[in-house]
Amino acid sequence: MASFIGIDLGTTYSAIEYIDYTGRPKIIHNSDGENITASCIAFDGSEVSHTGEEARKMLGTEDNVAARFKRDMGKKTKYTYNGKKHTPTNLSAEILKRLYFDAKNQIGEINEAVITVPANFSNEARVETKKAAKLAGINVNHMIDEPTAGALHYAYEGDGALRGYYAVYDLGGGTFDVSIVNIKSSEDITVITSEGDNRLGGCDVDMELARHFDE
């Protein structure tokens, strides 16, 4: 059965869902039974050994674990693990492969996908996200700013009850985004503006707290 999926390719955790037979979005659990997948990759030599929670458990104790690379998407940054260089695009593709694999195992053939991205993502970052999806075998139909996706969801769930101007915040593991939207009905939503900071997320708060207590 052909399906359409939605992907949140997150800085710290990622998730994937599909539209069920009732027309409602439903989270797809990964092969570990979790509804989110850690955006971490561990390497054994030049090959990927673990993707997800197993890799996250090694973070901070092993030198061969990649994490938070999404924040450098669209830049010329490269990471070296066991002598091999990796780009944020290639690393993101590994996370998307894991999500795609788990989804196909549960819902079968997949036609297209919608991916949410940070509001402050540059055009280059958006292009590289599409490249990562293509490397993972995913055809991206559309990209939506993360807080805007949240606004669309709540407007839909509200069934017309939400009306007016709203500020929608998305404080993630690596980014802090906001969208200003005008909701006239569950099917009439105008995004006025979206903006964000990809160095003002949860991990940045953690680092500041650690620095404070260290001092």
Q: What is the DSSP string of 182-199?
A: EEEETTEEEEEEEEEETT
Read off the pLDDT of residues 160-193 as tens digits, 9 standing for 90 and up. Answer: 677 899 998 888 888 898 889 898 887 788 889 8
Strand partners, 170: 177
Q: Look at the block and give the residue holding tokens 């991205």.
A: 117
Is 50 strand, coil or helix?
Answer: strand
* Crossing angle between the packed helical segments 123-135 and 88-107, to the nearest 10 degrees: 50
Cα(206)–Cα(161) distance, integer angstroms: 37
- Whether 119 and 150 have beta carbons less than 8 Å apart is answered as no
Read off the pLDDT of residues 55-107 as tens digits, 9 standing for 90 and up. Answer: 999 988 888 999 999 999 999 999 999 889 999 999 999 999 999 999 999 98
Is 96 strand, coil or helix?
Answer: helix
Indicate the pTM of the whole model. Answer: 0.88
What the block records as the tokens of 32 is 């570990």
For residues 128-157, average pLDDT: 89
